[in-house]
Structure 1
Amino acid sequence: MKGNRDPAAAYDESEWMHKEYAVMPKVSKRAAEALYPSVREMFELAAGVPDAVSFAIGEPGFDTPQPVIDAAYRAASLDDTHYTPNRGAVALREAWCEHRNAADGTDYDPDTDVIVTAGGMEAVYLAMLATLDPGDDILIPDPGYANYFGQVRLVGANVVPVPLDAGHGFRMQAADVEAAVTPRTRAILLNSPSNPTGAVIDAEQLDLIAEVCERHDLWVISDEVYRSFVYDPSVECLSIAAVPGMRRRTVVVDSFSKTFAMTGWRIGAAFGPKPIIDRMTVMQEDIVSCVPGALQQGAVAALEGSNEILDEMTSVYRANRDMVVAAVADMPLVSCATPDGAFYVLVDVRDTGMDDHAFAVDLLHRAKVVVTPASGFGGRGRGYVRLSYVGTPEATAEGLRRMRAYLEDYSSATSSR
């Protein structure tokens, strides 16, 4: 029955003719045009495949550290269950600014230059609302995190893709940024390390991108939620806010989700100049009002605690990355570049003759392995699938074994036709 239809499926206007909904008004244009991310689509498809090994969701394979849980529990037990300031709890703002200032040599003031948000995605959304008017253009990496595209649509702005080339390891190039700027461009979104590519923008290109932003008077929204996960000593992941002159035009987005295995806590933040953080704070009241106080106290404990879980995650993810890259190199018909960081790798499947969506669905049903079609991350992702390597080493090895067997069988079958 249509009344039980998946609410996240593509909008079908004919559904409103069904007798249950005939007396209801139509949904808004923005709601009708909203798309379900491909990662979620594959997650739902995999739910019907028992014993599937998933490389789909970027969900750390670790539990939140117990001291963090204990701190939140204590705070809730002591009645920290009421509204908090729109900007966030003072203790968390102070601890987080201290942490970022020490890492980047910045001078964020916890009273004026930071707002605690309901996850990094709300920080990105607030930053877009504060920098873009309807009809403005924003430069978005392509391939890039799928939710960016949806958020731009909700704001009423236009996505202008900045192509990320496999020949450069999917690292953003300043020349491509310059070429993408339009007369209506007001902002650029950076994501380094990147989801879905794992690429880190190198220091030279970051300086050149900063020059482009200065020349065209652009805001920068710098999504840095994966900065803790960079695996090779030769790779340096810098914040564009630390480039001389850029702090005044940059909103940095950070989050506890990946770094401390706290995806369900929804603790994020935006750091930037006081005028824009002030406006984001006003809009925070209109959207979620504030972030739960007890959860913020847990976040303080995460910042003030040991780096044991981060060190353990980094060690496991580095080993998983190396395992994935080596395994893919030994598979027929596919290839990949070595990612610098985050916990994703893009695998080129074009030589299979299938598009990325067909490949992902076939791999799921035939090998019980879940990957994400990268066309959901932008036009430049077509022909690639994303693997998230956050699982246990055992699950990662098993998934790769299945994927290799599938490709060997597929290669043999197609070559004999």
Structure 2
Amino acid sequence: MFSKRIDTIQPFMVMEILAKAIEMEQRGIDVVHMEIGEPDFDTPKSIINGCVEEIKKGKTHYTHSLGILELRQALSDYKFRTRNTHFNPQNNIMITCGTSPAFFMLLSALLNPGDEVIISNPGYPCYQNFISFFGGSPVGVPIYENEEFNFNIKSLKEKISPKTKVLILNSPSNPTGQIIPHETLEQIANLIEKYNFWVISDEIYAELTYDGKMAPSLSEKQFERIHHKLIVLDGFSKYWAMTGWRLGYIITPSNLMEKIIPIQQNYFICAPSISQMAALYALNCEEETSEMLRIYKKRRDYIVREIRNIKGISCLIPKGAFYVFVNIKSLNIASLEFSMKLLENAHVATCPGIAFGSNGEGFVRFSYPTRIENITKAIKRISSFVNQSF
């Protein structure tokens, strides 16, 4: 009755945990949410107010399938300021209905059945689902805590085959919060030159770093030699607290963009015009985003310190994003079982590491875009749960 293809899409485990947490709340149970990767901040007022004014002017119609030129030009300028690289707003940049539809379009344009796509293990689970949906084969490269969850270049090289079509990078990473350093990117660029595969650089958290600098990127000028194989996937959801606006963008070479435009036209027509107008204001609200980043850093420092005080669990300090990938291996319990028991008994919702791949087993992801008061409540419950159960 249904397509075989649909069976390749696995349930999104974190959403199932969220659903259970909501069901508990409906029964009057106080649940602390640390499972979902969504900013707790509302979209900055300057973005909302600017967008409202544009709506009043009638900016509510279809736009060009690539997106409004003014926004594409603003993004080109932004990338030049931050990466010292010029991307042509006319044929290198497309505005999309979020990063997931963008990823959908990219893989539909790139993959043939049997093509291999290299991803990190652990890594963002939707990558694997999308790859399989289009008949590709996800090839996981294990990354390890003792290497700060970064690619070991020897291990990465061993996974490259004649079928390798794409490598996906995500830095800062979901779920680990770690950043790929420049020296590793240099080695990856050398592999791209040698083996001629595409690279999708998912940079949705690139501005969400805690050392005052954006995460290093292959889009920087020093890597210009591989830009004919580079795709940047980015959006406004995380750093600008605009998850509900559903707006992303992709930067690709013009020859790939030509293939993606018809997909956008047929599937989505264009990104929402009002969200595109909001994005124009987002690129000029540095004061608000800097304040949000300051608060995220305060929360990160607090949660890491408190987790390290709980006997039996540990974590690295995340360098970016807003996740802590907590090591629970010494407790000798599967990550899914731990997360479910923590939710049922301590009323704290988290995401098990197994949701991010087999190498995520033994870890649990805590998302910390929530008030310090909630983090404090969660830590007390987690500490009590661990001390009493293990």
Q: TM-score, normalised by structure 2?
A: 0.96
The equivalences for 1:233-244 within 5 A come to 237-242=215-220, 243-244=223-224
Deviations 1:317-373 (A, max 9, x none): 111111121111111221111111111111111222210000000000111101101
Partner of 1:142: 121
Is the 8 Å Cα contact of residues 8 and 129 (structure 2) preserved in structure 1?
A: no
Give the distance between the partners of 1:196 and 1:340, measured in 2 at CA. Answer: 12
Amino acid at match of 2:17: M
Give the distance between the partners of 1:60 and 1:197, measured in 2 at CA. Answer: 17
Give the distance between the partners of 2:357 and 2:269, measured in 1 at CA. Answer: 32
More moved, 120-129 vs 82-91: 120-129
What is the CA distance between 1:281 and its match in structure 2?
Answer: 1.5
Is the 8 Å Cα contact of residues 114 and 136 (structure 2) preserved in structure 1?
A: yes
Give the distance between the partners of 1:380 and 1:68, measured in 2 at CA. Answer: 40
Consecutive unaligned residues of structure 1, counting only runs of 5 or more, are: 1-25, 412-417
Deviations 1:147-176 (A, max 9, x none): 111111222111000111111110122222
Give the distance between the partners of 2:305 and 2:263, measured in 1 at CA. Answer: 47
Amino acid at match of 2:217: S
Give the distance between the partners of 2:190 and 2:349, measured in 1 at CA. Answer: 41
RMSD of equivalent CA atoms: 1.3
Partner of 1:37: 12
Give the distance between the partners of 2:152 and 2:260, measured in 1 at CA. Answer: 30
Equivalent of 2:154 in 165, 168, 175: 175
Partner of 1:260: 240
> Residue 307 of structure 2 aligns to a residue in which SS?
helix
1:288 equivalent to 2:288? Answer: no
Is the 8 Å Cα contact of residues 173 and 209 (structure 1) preserved in structure 2?
A: no
1:371 equivalent to 2:350? Answer: yes
Equivalences, count: 384
Partner of 1:110: 89
Give the distance between the partners of 1:89 and 1:367, measured in 2 at CA. Answer: 48
1:312 equivalent to 2:312? Answer: no
Is the 8 Å Cα contact of residues 14 and 351 (structure 2) preserved in structure 1?
A: yes
Is the 8 Å Cα contact of residues 186 and 218 (structure 1) preserved in structure 2?
A: yes
Partner of 2:201: 222
Partner of 2:318: 339
Deviations 1:15-49 (A, max 9, x none): xxxxxxxxxxx111121332111111110111122
Identity of matched residues, %: 32
Partner of 2:2: 27
Deviations 1:366-385 (A, max 9, x none): 11101101111111111111
What is the CA distance between 1:236 and its match in structure 2?
Answer: 6.2
Is the 8 Å Cα contact of residues 177 and 323 (structure 2) preserved in structure 1?
A: yes
Give the distance between the partners of 2:183 and 2:44, measured in 1 at CA. Answer: 37
The equivalences for 1:361-400 within 5 A come to 361-400=340-379
Give the distance between the partners of 1:244 and 1:72, measured in 2 at CA. Answer: 35
Partner of 1:251: 231
The equivalences for 1:191-202 within 5 A come to 191-202=170-181
Give the distance between the partners of 1:115 and 1:245, measured in 2 at CA. Answer: 22
Amino acid at match of 2:12: P
Amino acid at match of 2:211: D
What is the CA distance between 1:73 and its match in structure 2?
Answer: 2.1
Equivalent of 1:277 in 237, 242, 257: 257
Is the 8 Å Cα contact of residues 177 and 212 (structure 1) preserved in structure 2?
A: no
> Residue 123 of structure 1 aligns to a residue in which SS?
helix
Give the distance between the partners of 1:173 and 1:231, measured in 2 at CA. Answer: 24
Equivalent of 1:95 in 54, 74, 89: 74
Give the distance between the partners of 2:113 and 2:80, measured in 1 at CA. Answer: 34
Partner of 1:15: none
Q: Which runs of 4+ in 1 moved over 4 A?
A: none
Larger radius of gyration: 1
Is the 8 Å Cα contact of residues 47 and 285 (structure 2) preserved in structure 1?
A: no
> Residue 224 of structure 2 aligns to a residue in which SS?
coil
Amino acid at match of 1:45: K
Equivalent of 1:165 in 140, 144, 153: 144
1:321 equivalent to 2:300? Answer: yes
Give the distance between the partners of 2:16 and 2:151, measured in 1 at CA. Answer: 28
1:54 equivalent to 2:54? Answer: no
Deviations 1:168-210 (A, max 9, x none): 1101222221011122001100000000010100111110011
Partner of 2:385: 406
> Residue 269 of structure 2 aligns to a residue in which SS?
coil
Give the distance between the partners of 1:224 and 1:251, measured in 2 at CA. Answer: 10
